[in-house]
């Protein structure tokens, strides 16, 4: 009984700590959004958002990330049912979609840079690359975390610690999905309409 109470206390402390971390990430992204909004018109005579952004590409990224978030949620539900096979399948889908998202984003960055619209071209592009690139780095971090969690799951099984890691990863992944919805709206939708 004492061990169960201790496990619950550890989960509670860890979860509170992780929520505090997510709040600091909210502050980071809020400052990057504010910077982007302020610098959006500072193109230095170069291309602006209307000339650069392709809505179908951004919509594809959004759908890929939303589906990956759904798969991540399915992994947590399978974890609660103690179905390791379904957890692994859902996490594999999450990982493949996360890598797909990053590949699309990287292709967009390379295309912009090759077309002379790199991060050094204007304040607008610096703000764009910083905001979207920071989100991409978070996705990469999430994929590394996911890989470590899967390896741990395969080595030791679905222990309380692995379940906690998976739960916190899920919070992180859904947070990144939410941030992307704001990026899609503020950067791409409003950028194309500007």
* Rounded Cα distance, 154 and 92, in Å: 13
Number of domains in the chain: 1
Output the domain CATH number for residue 96: 1.20.120.80
* Rounded Cα distance, 37 and 72, in Å: 31
Give the predicted TM-score (pTM) of the model.
0.92
Sign of CA dihedral 112, 116, 120, 124: negative
Lowest-confidence segment of 16-20, 69-73, 101-105 by average pLDDT: 16-20
What range does the domain containing 44 cover? 2-193
* Rounded Cα distance, 107 and 54, in Å: 12
Segment 86-101 shows an average pLDDT of 98
User: How does pLDDT run across 104-151, given as a tens digit for each residue?
Assistant: 999 999 999 999 999 999 999 999 999 999 999 999 999 999 999 999
Task: Tell whether the model's pLDDT for residue 1 goes beyond 60.
Answer: no
User: How does pLDDT run across 144-184, given as a tens digit for each residue?
Assistant: 999 999 999 999 999 988 999 999 999 999 999 999 999 99
Alpha helices in 40-117 (DSSP H): 49-52, 55-80, 84-114
* Rounded Cα distance, 173 and 190, in Å: 24
Task: Tell whether the model's pLDDT for residue 78 goes beyond 60.
Answer: yes
* Rounded Cα distance, 70 and 107, in Å: 24
Number of H helices, E strands in the chain: 7, 0
């Amino acid at each position: 009984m004492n061990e169960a109470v201790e496990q619950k206390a550890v989960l509670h402390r860890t979860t509170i700590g992780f929520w505090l971390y997510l709040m600091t990430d909210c502050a980071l992204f809020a400052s990057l959004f504010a910077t982007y909004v302020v610098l959006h018109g500072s193109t230095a005579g170069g291309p602006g958002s209307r000339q650069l952004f392709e809505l179908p590409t951004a919509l594809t990224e959004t759908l890929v990330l939303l589906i990956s978030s759904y798969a991540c949620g399915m992994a947590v539900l399978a974890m609660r049912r103690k179905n390791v096979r379904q957890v692994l399948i859902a996490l594999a889908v999450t990982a493949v979609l996360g890598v797909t998202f990053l590949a699309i984003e990287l292709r967009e960055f390379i295309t912009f840079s090759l077309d002379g619209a790199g991060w050094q071209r204007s304040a607008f592009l610096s703000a764009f690359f910083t905001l979207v690139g920071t989100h991409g780095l978070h996705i990469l971090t999430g994929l590394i975390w996911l890989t470590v969690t899967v390896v741990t799951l395969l080595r030791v099984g679905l222990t309380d610690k692995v379940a906690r890691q998976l739960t916190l990863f899920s919070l992180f992944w859904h947070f990144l999905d939410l941030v992307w919805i704001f990026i899609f709206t503020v950067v791409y939708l409003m950028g194309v309409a500007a």
